[in-house]
Amino acid sequence: MKKIVYILSIVLLSFQSFANNNIIFDKANQLYHQKKYDSSIILYNQMLMDNYCAPNLYYNLGNAYYQNHQIGLAIWSYEKAIQLKPQKEYIDNLKLTQKRIKEDITKVDDIFFIRWWNSLYSMLTVNQWAISALIIFIIGMTFLFLKLILKRSYISKPISLCLFIGSFVFLLFAFVRLYNNTYHHYGIIIIPETEFISNKQKVYLSEGIKVKLISDLGKEIEVQLPDGRVGKIDETAYKKI
């Protein structure tokens, strides 16, 4: 009986939390449309602090940052939205905002195969690849069942084999995407004119530039720029995607 009461309490609290977040989200959207961008940003971030995570939340937060002329944080928000759901609207806003970077750094082009591979596995999120793999696997098992158990002659084994191979490939994409999300730490420069020191040379980075984290040195971090240069910046200037 106590377990049932405990479970019901958790369910009720979850519903209450969900309802509260919806109220806050609607209020933040209302403030945004009233052009009270600072206030809407506070409410959107409050939801993130309450562990509410949704692509449209990051997208709306990015729009508020953009209107508030905080380009670095806007780009970070759009990147987070795309990480959860690579939707065209999010990608378009990201590209539009990236044009506002004062002095962007040209990325070193990867070879064709690497560009093709990166674009391929980035088409879907980890969950979308995993769910697709499961669906294809179930379809393959269904075909195999009809062939072996019900002895349906019109079903060929190569169909099941192709489906199983497709399921394995999709699962591979899910693992690759998960690995990159977990171990390849990218972030955004969120402070204008961030000091970047490389080989005793000092330059200043514009906010909004995407960098790769190499190592955490405490108050400083070592990052790699899109053009391949490696140097140190203050940790407060970097926000992990």
CB 76 within 8 A of CB 239: yes
How many whole angstroms separate alpha carbon 183 and alpha carbon 203?
28
pLDDT of residue 74: 97
What are the residue ranges in the chain where pLDDT is below 50?
5-16
CA distance 1 to 111: 63
The answer to whether the beta carbons of residues 173 and 117 sit under 8 Å apart is no
Q: Which residue type sits at 63?
A: N
SS3 readout for 39-88: HHHHHHHHHHHCCCCCHHHHHHHHHHHHHCCCHHHHHHHHHHHHHHCCCH
Alpha helix (H) residue ranges in 85-156? 88-98, 112-121, 126-148
Instruction: Report d(CA 205, CA 221) in Å as an integer.
Output: 14
| Per-residue confidence (pLDDT) for residue 15, from 0 to 100 | 43
Q: What is the pLDDT of residues 187-236, one digit of tens each?
A: 999 999 999 998 888 999 999 999 999 988 888 999 999 888 999 999 99
Measured CA to CA, the distance from residue 64 to residue 73 in angstroms comes to 10
pLDDT in tens, 118-136: 777 777 778 888 899 999 9
**208: burial class by Cβ within 10 Å (0-12, 13-18, 19+)?**
buried
CA torsion angle for 25, 30, 33, 37 (degrees, to 10)? -60
In the DSSP assignment, the letter for residue 211 is E
The SS3 assignment for 35 reads coil
